[in-house]
Amino acid sequence: MKKILGAILIGIVVLAVAAFFIVRSFEDRVTEDLVSQVSQLTIPAGWKMLDDVIEPDRFVCLGGNPCPSISRRWETDSVVTARDLEQIAATANVTLTVDRPCERPANNIGRAVQCTGLGVKDGYNYQLSLSSAAPGEPLQVSLSVRPVIFSTLAGGAFLGAAVLPRWLW
- Per-residue pLDDT of the chain (169 residues), as tens digits, is 777 877 777 778 777 676 666 665 566 676 788 888 888 999 999 999 999 988 887 767 766 667 788 899 999 999 999 999 999 999 999 999 999 999 888 888 888 889 999 999 988 899 999 998 888 889 999 999 988 875 444 444 434 444 444 444 4
Measure CA 34 to chain center: 8
The dihedral built from the CA positions of residue 166, 116, 119 and 76, taken in this order, carries a sign that is negative
pTM: 0.73
CA distance linking residue 94 with residue 97, whole number of Å: 10
